[in-house]
Chains A and B, each alone.
Chain A
Amino acid sequence: MKRTYLLALIPFTALSFCVVGCDEAYSEALRYGVRTDPVPLTKLGDEYPFPDQPGQMPILSIDNFQDERNPYFAAHQKNDLIKGKVFLDPTKLADAGRQQIRQVLDKFFGTPAKPTVGGIDDDDLKKQALEVLKLDDKILALGSQEYRKHCLHCHGVTGDGRGPTARWVNPHPRDYRQGRFKFESVDQTQTGQMPPHRDDLMRTLEVGVEGTAMPSFVVLPSDVREALVSYVIHLSLRGMAEFNVFKNKIDENTLKLDSGETLEQVVKDYQFNNVSAWVKSQDPANRIKVAPYPYDDNEPDLKQLKASVARGKELFSSPRPEWAAKIGKDVCITCHKDYGRQSYFRYDEWGTFAKPNNLLMGVYRGGRRPVDIYYRVHSGIPPSTMNAFANLVPTDPGGKNTNALWDIVNFVRVLGNPNMRQKMGIYVD
């Protein structure tokens, strides 16, 4: 080749690096789109013996049910899960319907590059959404950019927990679209199913989720983390609106609205309810009221702690028919079989599986502080079918054990440390 042509290669190679660009935000052309994965309507059952296989999401599409490695395969063979209204197939909805849903959601929630939270007619609620939930457009734009950099690959563009790396990670990343989160400090015993407080999401970003693939993002500045939390709430609200529409307004694969209703008005109503629920969760009055810790852990012979742990063990392991009557489950050990060593997987609300924690490992996903474990025992983990025990254990004066929750917490904490188990005289072998 002539020399001059070869020379031209040099600037071309250099410039080619500039084509890639360094834009951090989503492309303006990208839109969220309407979900195509099956919508979980009810839980199929209670216990399930196996985890989902590596590389498999339980439900990315209806076709997964035909794969014999899929946990739902056997059940689907027996009774069609779509006909049986266990799942809804959103791809069966005609294009016109899907377009309608897309238009309304895009109108109220924007695009990934320009996210917004709209569709709130009530001015007071709008103000609270902006102040208390921090959902103004500017913070959402920053959140969207950072989400794309740090979270997208697992949690997906729409927060569906089905990003490219999600299938290789077990437990799977959180699906925000039902507005349900596992580790909350909001009192679930009052109305149940309350969304988390912003602090809960901030804490998850700060310390990660131990024992899962979710790392700590504490090295990100706190304003970036605040923006990420706002964006997650935005994705959750959008997902909730979409989920509500599919759950309630789809009949026989068509969008069925009541007479005089428009889809816009329907979504606005859902938005009102969902945003109100989130705002209510931010109210300090709705946080879990943690009873003051009653014992002195610094006693030289740890007598008080030892007695507390013994009471906790009794609460954890001994049968309690009165609980079974109320919640269908006996005591903690009913699900945390053999202190968690022989737990079965359980169907959860996202259509995936959760396993009651093996408490002897000393790994606490929701946080290892005593107060974190108190939150779990008090209000449970509702979407994963762990009950709120605050209403069940005796906590009033006159009940046999007014510190029951702290006793269970102490027992759980001691279970996780072999050296301490020995010291406390707890033998589980």
Chain B
Amino acid sequence: MGKFWSLLFGATMAGCFGLFAVAPFVDGWWMPEGVSSHSDRIDFLFYAILGITGFFFVLTEAILVGFLYRYGTTADGTPPKLAPSKVANLLKPITKVLNDPHKIELAWTIIPAAILLLIAFSQVSIWAEVKYQSRYTDFVGKDTIPVVVEISARQFEWRVRYPSKSRMESFLNYTEKKDPTVKKDFESFAKLTKFDDVKNLPQALHVLKGHSVLIHLGTQDVIHSLNLPHMRIKQDALPGKIIPVWFIPTKSNTQKGTWIDGFNPDTKKFDDHHIWDIACAELCGWGHYRMVGRLFVHETKEDFLAWLEHAEKDANAKN
């Protein structure tokens, strides 16, 4: 085959690596801005694992390309005649210890296993905070009731149920009075649809910045998956189950009063980076690709409740 193919292969791998290295700095090529309480820790995990696996990936591919180049057969099909390798001399300290195949195999089993165990143990606490229902109370706090909604996925849209405005207001204000009837009312939300719930709103989830959110996720037909990329949230919606999802948004993207999203709270202008999608992350049929809703994070409690009141009025229109 000769040197040509090894060079072509090496150039392709280097090109891919180059694109990957550049990606974080090109608009739209990398992960979106993380704006939830979970995003820092999850992004840290991502980069740590990327670093470790990236190092080994580059190492093994470089060795592969090197070997392809050095030991590729010549044009007439015979093995090349080579001088002793300089690299082999450099590796003498290691090859002295790992001097038989059994020892080499032990090395390349134990070292990666140790690294994987390290990753496994270090990520448990982050996973627990996001997913373990036993950790939910720690996350939200005993004296806070989150913004609670029910999201029902169906082919091919998201439908959201909110409590009525007055009920939501009592939930948000629970911390002040700590009224046990309000706590009980909140606990009944998932299983009991009340007559005055604002039900079935399509494709839009409204939450409040700085206040925890609890989503009761269900599905009406097949398996879907709630994906809030900016919140670093992904949770499968399984038929027959109602699965809780929680997070705290740390930034808003909705203009006060008009409730239009895409609003950058820092520059006070509209831009595409602040349009936050709700996507489906589990193939659910032909419309899976376009099962996309929008996430609205309100800046203040008053604005959020004002929107909810408006939505409630709409849903109860009598003329």
CA distance A206 to B195 in the complex (A): 23
Which chain A residues border B154 with CB–CB below 8 Å?
215
A350-375 Cβ-contact flags toward B at 8 Å (1 or 0): 00000000000010000011110010
Contacts A368-B199, A419-B194 given: A219-B316 contact, CB under 8 Å?
Answer: no
Contact at A216–B157, with CB atoms within 8 Å? yes
Q: How far is the CB of A423 from chain B (nearest CB, A)?
A: 8
B25 at the interface (CB under 8 A from A): no
Q: How far is the CB of A214 from chain B (nearest CB, A)?
A: 10
Contact at A293–B200, with CB atoms within 8 Å? no
Chain A: CB-nearest residue to B287: A215
Interface size on A, residues (CB 8 A): 27
CA distance A413 to B200 in the complex (A): 15
Contact at B316–A370, with CB atoms within 8 Å? yes
A414 at the interface (CB under 8 A from B): yes
CA distance A139 to B61 in the complex (A): 55
Contact at A371–B318, with CB atoms within 8 Å? yes
Which chain B residues border A369 with CB–CB below 8 Å?
314-318
B202 at the interface (CB under 8 A from A): yes
CA distance A210 to B200 in the complex (A): 8
**Which of A215, A293, A420 is B195 in contact with, Cβ under 8 Å?**
A420
Which chain B residues border A414 with CB–CB below 8 Å?
195
Which chain A residues border B124 with CB–CB below 8 Å?
none
Which chain A residues border B315 with CB–CB below 8 Å?
368-369
CA distance A206 to B314 in the complex (A): 13
Chain A: CB-nearest residue to B277: A219
Q: How far is the CB of B178 from chain A (nearest CB, A)?
A: 24
Which chain B residues border A219 with CB–CB below 8 Å?
203, 292-294
Contact at B157–A208, with CB atoms within 8 Å? yes
Q: Choose among B292, B315, B318 the residue with the greatest number of A CB atoms under 10 Å from its CB.
A: B318
CA distance A371 to B318 in the complex (A): 5
Which chain B residues border A207 with CB–CB below 8 Å?
200, 202
SS class, residues of chain B in contact with chain A: loop
A130 at the interface (CB under 8 A from B): no
Which chain A residues border B292 with CB–CB below 8 Å?
219
Chain A: CB-nearest residue to B1: A3
Q: How far is the CB of B269 from chain A (nearest CB, A)?
A: 19
Chain B: CB-nearest residue to A165: B286
A99 at the interface (CB under 8 A from B): no
CA distance A165 to B286 in the complex (A): 9
Q: How far is the CB of A7 from chain B (nearest CB, A)?
A: 9
A53 at the interface (CB under 8 A from B): no
CA distance A215 to B4 in the complex (A): 54
Which chain B residues border A165 with CB–CB below 8 Å?
286
Contacts A414-B195, A420-B195 given: A218-B318 contact, CB under 8 Å?
Answer: no
- Which B residues between 166 and 204 are near A, CB-CB below 8 angstroms? 192-195, 199-200, 202-204
CA distance A371 to B156 in the complex (A): 26
Contacts A414-B195, A417-B193, A420-B195 given: A215-B156 contact, CB under 8 Å?
Answer: yes
B155 at the interface (CB under 8 A from A): yes
Which chain A residues border B78 with CB–CB below 8 Å?
none
Which chain B residues border A210 with CB–CB below 8 Å?
200
24 pairs, A vs B, C-beta closer than 8 Å:
A165-B286, A207-B202, A208-B202, A213-B155, A215-B287, A216-B157, A216-B202, A219-B203, A219-B294, A292-B319, A293-B318, A362-B193, A368-B200, A368-B315, A370-B317, A370-B318, A371-B319, A374-B318, A417-B193, A419-B192, A419-B193, A419-B194, A419-B195, A423-B195
What residues of chain B have their CB less than 8 Å away from a CB belonging to chain A? 4, 154-157, 192-195, 199-200, 202-204, 286-287, 292-294, 314-319
What residues of chain A have their CB less than 8 Å away from a CB belonging to chain B? 3, 153, 165, 206-208, 210, 213, 215-216, 218-219, 290, 292-293, 362, 368-371, 374, 413-414, 417, 419-420, 423
